[in-house]
């Protein structure tokens, strides 16, 4: 991810920088995503709503790329909401500019492929965690994969992401 960011930065391809206030939405369900974002500071949650209940499916924080990937790829409306957990600063690159950049070289294409593969593996690991692992195993696996998450994101959002109560997460962190 760092290499991809550095290459975009070097070519000065960012369209703009934006700042979101705490709880402000970057994206709402039902809209098409035409940008890719890089988080400079702060944190965001990607969620879906089901019967007025929020389900957090991904968390993003400093030095991560983030977008409503379903919509970014298909150019159809997304089912996801992306909301700032705290004040968040982002760099923005349009899909058109990004795809032109990716297609400039085989190396850029490899970086994009590596990013997509990493996201796919992370999603598969998350699905396995939620389906078969105990809360303690889910916590330990996420701690191992993303220790920075616990420094950047408040516990209540991590607990939701891990499909457990904040109290359960607190007990696991203490043990």
pLDDT, one tens digit per residue, over 116-148 is: 898 889 888 888 888 877 889 889 888 888 888
Distance CA 12, CA 6 (A): 10
pLDDT for 159 equals: 92
Tell me the β-bridge partners of 164. Answer: none
Please give the residue range of the domain that contains residue 87: 2-174
pLDDT for 133 equals: 77
Distance CA 20, CA 43 (A): 10
Judge whether residue 171 has pLDDT over 80. Answer: yes
pTM exceeds 0.85 for this model: yes
pLDDT for 29 equals: 96
* pLDDT band with cut points at 50, 70 and 90 for residue 58: very high
pLDDT for 19 equals: 98
Q: Compute φ and ψ for 139, nearest 5 degrees.
A: -60, -50
- Rounded alpha-carbon distances, angstroms, from residue 157 to 70, 150, 171: 22, 10, 15
Residue 48 sits at the vertex; the CA angle it makes with 66 and 129, to the nearest 5 degrees, is 80
Average pLDDT over residues 54-74: 93
Please count the structural domains in the chain. Answer: 1
pLDDT for 141 equals: 86
Average pLDDT over residues 162-167: 91
pLDDT for 131 equals: 84
Mean pLDDT of the chain: 93
* pLDDT band with cut points at 50, 70 and 90 for residue 111: very high
Distance CA 74, CA 25 (A): 21
Judge whether residue 80 has pLDDT over 80. Answer: yes
Residue 8 sits at the vertex; the CA angle it makes with 7 and 9, to the nearest 5 degrees, is 90
Average pLDDT over residues 46-53: 92
Q: Are strands 65-66 and 53-61 parallel, antiparallel or unpaired?
A: unpaired
Q: 2-16, 74-88, 130-144: which range is least confident on average?
A: 130-144
Residue 100 vs residue 1, higher pLDDT:
100
Q: What are the b/e assignments for 134-163, b being 16+ CB within 10 Å?
A: ebeebbebbeeebeebeebbeeebbbbbbe
Distance CA 124, CA 100 (A): 29
- How is residue 64 written in tokens? 């991560």
CA atoms within 13 A on the CB side of 112: 17
CATH number at residue 16: 2.60.120.10
Of 92, 34, 35, 86, nearest in space to 60 by CA: 86
């Amino acid at each position: 991810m760092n290499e991809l960011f550095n290459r975009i930065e070097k070519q000065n391809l960012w369209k703009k920088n934006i700042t979101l206030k705490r709880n402000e939405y970057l994206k709402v369900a039902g809209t098409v995503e035409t940008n890719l974002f890089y988080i400079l500071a702060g944190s965001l949650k990607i969620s879906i709503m089901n019967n007025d209940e929020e389900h957090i499916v991904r968390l993003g924080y400093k030095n991560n790329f983030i977008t409503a990937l379903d919509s970014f790829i298909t150019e159809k409306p997304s089912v996801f909401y992306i909301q700032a957990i705290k004040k968040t600063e982002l760099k923005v690159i349009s899909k058109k500019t990004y795809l032109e950049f990716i297609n400039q070289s085989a190396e850029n294409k490899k970086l994009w492929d590596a990013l997509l593969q990493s996201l796919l593996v992370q999603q598969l690991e998350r699905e396995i965690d939620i389906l078969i692992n105990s809360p303690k195993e889910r916590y330990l696996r996420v701690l191992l994969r993303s220790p920075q998450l616990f420094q950047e994101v408040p516990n209540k959002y991590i607990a939701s992401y891990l499909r457990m109560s904040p109290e359960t997460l607190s007990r696991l962190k203490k043990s």
